[in-house]
Structure 1
Amino acid sequence: MKRVLPLALIAFLCTTLSSCELIGGIFKAGVWSGIIIVVVVVALLIWILAKVFGGGKS
């Protein structure tokens, strides 16, 4: 039963939040803020992958 709640939540969010609404919201907030958000997310993902796969060993 514990797995059903997160799966139901993910399914609910996927059906209610479409990618077009997300992109529209980003452009309403401004192109530059959208670019900054994308750069920060990509940098965070690269940092996390480097930590997971041992890129930070010295």
Structure 2
Amino acid sequence: MQSRIFKLGFLALLFGTMLTSCELVGDIFQAGMGVGIFIVIAVIVLIIWVISRFRK
């Protein structure tokens, strides 16, 4: 487990030194936005599914 965390930390450090700070922050926010949209869609689908189960 620690080896995996170390590898992820190393990759983050590597990307942090290769990209400028604006690019890095922009990429992080873009990835976060994509994950957020996915979660919102998943919650909406779950709510619709639960409502449809109670209507039967």
Normalising TM by the smaller chain, what interval? 0.5 to 0.7
Q: Higher helix share goes to which structure?
A: 2
Identity between Structure 1 and Structure 2 (%): 0
Structure 1 residue runs of 4 or more that deviate by more than 6 Å after TM superposition: none
Segments of structure 1 that go 5 or more residues without pairing to the other structure are: 1-10
In the aligned structure 1, how far is the partner of 2:29 from the partner of 2:5? Answer: 26
Structure 2: which 5+ residue stretches go unaligned?
49-56
Report deviation, 1:29.
1.2
Larger relative contact order, structure 1 or 2 (CA cutoff 8 Å, min sep 6)? 2
CA distance in 2, matches of 1:33, 1:23: 14
Aligned length: 45
Summarize the alignment of residues 1-40 of structure 1 with structure 2, pairs less than 5 Å apart: 14=4, 17-19=7-9, 21=10, 22-40=12-30
| TM-score when normalising by structure 2 | 0.56
Alignment root-mean-square deviation, CA: 2.8
- Aligned match of 1:49 in 39, 44, 48? 39
